[in-house]
Structure 1
Amino acid sequence: MISSAAGSIGDRIRRISHVVVNVSDLDRSVQFYEKVSPLRLVTTFEAPEQSFEPLRLGCDRARFVAAVLEDQTGGDPVAVHLVQWVNPPPTGAAYRTFLDSGITKLGICYPDPERKRAQLREAGAVLTNEKTVRNYFTTTDPDGIFVSFINLPGTVSERLFHTCLAMTAPVDQTVRFYRDVLGLEHWMRVAVPEPVPASLGAGSDLGFYESHFFRGWGDHRFSLDCSKNFLPYAQAAPPREAAHHIGIARFAIEVDDVGRCFDVLRAASAGLDHGPVGAGPVRWVYGPPFGPRRVLVVRDPSGHLFELFTPEQRPFLDRAPGTAQAGHPPAAPSADGG
């Protein structure tokens, strides 16, 4: 197992940057999230045809169009990148249940249950569970991806709260990886001793789990929720390997020096089946406003993929919350790149 003695990249992390969600129709998905959530379109971008190694795409060169959504909390919040692959086209389908073994859902916290219920009803969102427990509403986006709305005590405004990663690895191994090697703050553990009524999504009206929450130091708005499910479910689908598979594909963490992160993670994961994927950082080129970045793809102990990246430029620092980057207003992306 990885231990803190092998080193940590915690002092290299700038922020948890974004969650990558693969969709089949970009415009349709943007409209959905703007109707049901605080997420709003702030810009679009295109990734021109290139190699996206070491991601698995089944082709040497690929491209996509994307929309960046933020929750209007200001500053430099964790964003959602809705990605529509052009070549190769999107494949597969979202996880059918919250009991599957991948990155299964987005979670958004909110303050007012009646207002939230009315908003979902007006948007035509169908809840996944017959009964709602503790004002925990779960629905699906147009591609069937789970989106949960959590009523948290003390929440002032609606915001992106977490993404859920199903643990198949031992809990202690997962905690060591995220806390001691990545250096994230392990700020909460939530567990139930037996199955309890829940409205966590399709698959069961019960929940039986142990969850561990990790977040960046200094910014407490967003968490990675690593959850171990104890309900019997023999058909659990594993994490998706194809990078263009419909669903939540990855999350991304911005670091100050991705090359040094590679050195630390390579040493920490020697002989293990998780850690850096590929021979080291690669260069991906995104169109305006982002530009090129150096990226290291990493696999966690349960098989989930994520990115560590160092951008060559950071375009959003002078942008007011809820507005587009100056000189790069949101524009509807096209499948042909026009």
Structure 2
Amino acid sequence: MVAVRRFWHVGINVTDMDATIEFYEKIGFEVIQDKELEDANLARAFMFEGASKLRFAHMRLPNGSADEALLDLIQWHDDRAKGRAEGDLIHPGLCRFSILTDDIQAEYVRLSDLGVEFLTEPQAVMDPDGVKGWKLLFARDPDGTLFHFVELIGVPATVG
């Protein structure tokens, strides 16, 4: 029997927690938890030599269930993150996370008006049947973490 229960969160290191929270609130996420933590065991647990202080925030979309995955934002105080995220869509490793929407064009307009900069306008990718597919819209958060919105075409906006 497999003991795995569910996908819990995506961890994102940030350089400015307040700016990152404000950004993801524009997207539609809500803060579930925002804490400072000081514990000498952080270095061992997170394999980060000398770490003992951090601030973390958990964020979740408001219409989701309590079992849905969270954004786990982490700002280290001992040795701050520097630069920008290096993720892209081609190289191995985490390349993006996705947010499902029912109306990608409306999100594009709403968030553009709030100052969110997108990498492209919404793009459609269709299955060979020409009926089902996806609309995709890519953006980066304040530290460069890549994510995208997805609108399912020809199927309900639930994945089951």
**Would you say same fold, with TM above 0.5?**
yes
Selected match of 2:151 from 284, 300, 310: 310
User: Among 230, 245, 250, which residue is 2:91 paired with?
Assistant: 245
1:254–1:309: 8 Å Cα contact kept in structure 2? yes
Identity of aligned residues (%): 21
1:182 counterpart = 2:13: no
CA contact (8 A) 1:200 1:207 kept: no
Which residues of 2 match residues 1-12 of structure 1 at below 5 A? Answer: none
Structure 1 position 314, deviation (Å): 3.1
Q: Which residue of 2 aligns with 1:225?
A: 72
Q: Deviation string for 1:296-338 (max 9, x for gaps)? A: 101111111101111103379695xxxxxxxxxxxxxxxxxxx
What do the CA deviations read for 1:259-281 (whole angstroms, capped 9, x no partner)?
11111111111xxxx53112x10
Superposition RMSD in Å: 3.0
Q: Number of residue pairs matched?
A: 156
Match of 2:133 in 1: 292
Residue 211 and residue 281 in structure 1: after superposition, are their counterparts in 2 closer, same or farther (change >3 A)? same
Q: Given the superposition, is the C-alpha separation of residues 293 and 316 from structure 1 closer, same or farther in structure 2, using an over 3 Å criterion? A: closer
Deviation digits for residues 207-234 of structure 1 (CA, Å, limit 9, x no counterpart): 4210111112241221001111122268
Q: Compute the displacement of 1:197 (Å).
A: 1.0
- Residues 282 and 294 in structure 1, CA contact (< 8 A), matched pair in contact too: yes
Unaligned runs of 5+ in 1: 1-34, 39-157, 320-338
Query: C-alpha separation between the residues in 1 aligned to 2:61 and 2:159?
Result: 22
Aligned residue identity for 1:239 = A
User: What amino acid is the match of 2:150?
Assistant: F
Match of 2:119 among 264, 277, 299: 277
Structure 2, unmatched stretches of 5+, are none
Q: Identify if the C-alpha distance between structure 1 residues 206 and 241 changes in structure 2 by more than 3 Å, giving closer, same or farther.
A: closer
Is the 1:265–1:276 Cα contact (8 Å) retained in structure 2?
A: no
> 1:59-78 counterparts in 2 under 5 A?
none
Report which structure shows greater RCO (CA 8 Å, sep ≥6). Answer: 1
Q: Which residue in 2 is equivalent to 1:215?
A: 60
SS in 1 for 2:20: helix
Q: Indicate yes or no: 2:21 matched with 1:197.
A: no
Rounded Cα–Cα distance in structure 1 between residues aligned with 2:139 and 2:29: 15
The answer to whether residue 101 in structure 2 is matched with residue 262 in structure 1 is no
Does the CA contact (< 8 Å) of 1:174 and 1:301 recur in 2?
yes
For the Cα contact (< 8 Å) 2:51–2:79, is it kept in 1?
Answer: no
Deviations 1:106-126 (A, max 9, x none): xxxxxxxxxxxxxxxxxxxxx
- Which structure 2 residues correspond to residues 312-331 of structure 1 after superposition, within 5 A? 312-314=153-155
| CA distance in structure 1 between the partners assigned to 2:87 and 2:94 by the alignment | 12
Counterpart-to-counterpart distance in 2, 1:294 and 1:315: 13
Q: CA deviation at 1:282?
A: 0.7
